[in-house]
Amino acid sequence: MDELVILGSGTGIPSLKRGSPGLLLISEESKILIDSGPGTLRRMLEVGTTYHDIDLMAYTHIHPDHTADLIPFLFACKYASRPRQKDLVCVGGPGFSDYFEKLSNIYGPWIESHCYSFTVRETSKGPLPFRNLWIRSRSVAHLPSSVGYRIALNGGKSIVFSGDTDYCQNIVDLGFAANLLILECSFPDGKKVDGHLTPSLAGRIGMESHCKRLLLTHLYPECDEEDILKQCRNVYAGEILIAEDSMRIEI
């Protein structure tokens, strides 16, 4: 069974209800961490996963609320009593390799992998086959280096992650007929911010992509003050889920 676990359904704004962005995809052969905002390592423990278990890390963009736990993750892997031993792959969009090189120049031996193989790749350079999965990415409308991901699973199923994005054709195309399309939904209708979606825009993407289910996440506090589900349903007729921390969804 393939399963998605919501580690953090919020943003960079501190909240007791919603942690910063982090998603865990559990397939038959792999555990994939998509983004790792502050507090992700702790929330992984709460859902029964550790830094030893992750096989691949995928980053949608390099804003701090999506990447803050990358360095603590790699630092934990060097813990002398329980060092990580299995290989780890880390992927991102255009320029991610340069970004990681700069981090390495700062932290040096504190994050170097001596007991395991660590590989950094940019998925923008082509589709990435990984074990029983196939990972594709496309640029999305946020930062110049921002990407969304589509992961093909066994049995023809697919799951799509938008990361942070405004409305754009690439995320519509990436989400075409997906079993689960995960879209950011930062602000309610009427409070639109450039580079982010509202429920109606998320619904439009869901409708145009013909996805089978739509999950809204990356919710700023304003979203909890309004009926964003109703706003999205005015546009998209399919099943809509509102992300909550620790939520588990079968793909």
DSSP labels, 149-187: EEEE-GGG-EEEE--S--S-HHHHHHTTT-SEEEEE--S
| Length of the chain in terms of residues written | 251
* Domains identified in the chain and CATH numbers: 3-248 (3.60.15.10)
Max CA separation in the chain (angstroms): 54
- List pLDDT tens digits, range 24-49: 999 989 999 999 999 999 999 999 99
pLDDT at 115: 92
Residue 194 reports pLDDT greater than 70: yes
Q: What's the pTM value of the predicted model, to 2 decimals?
A: 0.96
pLDDT at 125: 66
Backbone angles phi, psi at 161, to 5 degrees: -120, 125
